[in-house]
């Protein structure tokens, strides 16, 4: 995370950079917290570079990170990296409600507020993933990577994700 922040000082506010370091220190507990929802097969790398259209059907390429996790992880990743902030802000509520309805159709009942909170918490991972992509380097076009960092950072700021994680004590359970 430190290397990523060193490469991206022009992309993040000081507060966001501080939150990123705090996130990194508590990452293991945060990942456990993010996997507490209903589990399903997830892509885990849902950025625009892995998205395609064939005829009228959308799809995702590059399934090397596939795993079991909360489906909201992919929703948050795609929303945070794919849409400019103003479009994401306009679309979030409707997309989350549509996702809630699809879950309900599949027999999974989650109220909108819970789903929305899970979405907010999951915004932390696309932020981390895009920063780490920059730190590693040459995994994607640098300018595209920087745009996705800025989008994810704005989503994290808009939803006060680091504050929410702090309020959840980073998912750390005390026995």
Q: Where are the domains of the chain?
A: 2-171
3-state secondary structure of 60: strand
- Provide the residue-wise pLDDT of the chain in tens; the chain has 175 residues: 999 999 999 999 999 999 999 999 999 999 999 999 888 899 999 999 899 999 999 999 999 889 999 999 999 999 999 999 999 999 999 999 999 999 999 998 999 999 999 999 999 999 999 999 999 998 899 999 999 999 999 999 999 999 999 998 888 776 5
- Residue 174 is predicted with a pLDDT of 61
Q: Which backbone phi and psi does 63 adopt, to 5 degrees? A: -95, 25
Which ranges in the chain belong to alpha helices (H)? 2-7, 14-25, 27-34, 72-82, 85-105, 112-122, 124-136, 142-158, 161-167
Looking at residue 65, its pLDDT comes to 84
What pLDDT score does 37 carry? 84
Prediction pTM value: 0.93
**Domain covering 2-171, topology:** Aminoglycoside 3'-phosphotransferase; Chain: A, domain 2 (3.90.1200)
């Amino acid at each position: 995370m430190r290397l990523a922040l060193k490469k991206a000082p022009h992309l993040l506010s000081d507060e966001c950079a501080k939150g990123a370091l705090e996130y990194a220190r508590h990452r293991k507990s945060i990942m456990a917290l993010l996997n507490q929802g209903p589990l399903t097969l997830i892509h885990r790398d849902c950025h625009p570079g892995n998205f395609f259209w064939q005829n009228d059907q959308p799809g995702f390429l590059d399934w090397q990170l596939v795993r079991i996790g909360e489906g909201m992880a992919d929703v948050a990743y795609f929303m945070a990296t794919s849409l400019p902030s103003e479009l994401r802000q306009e679309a979030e509520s409707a997309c989350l409600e549509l996702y809630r309805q699809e879950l309900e159709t599949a027999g999974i009942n989650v109220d909108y507020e819970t789903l929305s909170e899970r979405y907010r918490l999951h915004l932390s991972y696309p932020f981390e993933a895009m920063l780490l992509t920059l730190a590693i380097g040459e995994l994607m076009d640098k300018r595209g990577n920087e745009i996705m960092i800025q989008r994810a950072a704005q989503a994290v700021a808009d939803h006060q994700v680091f504050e929410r994680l702090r309020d959840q004590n980073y998912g750390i359970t005390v026995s």
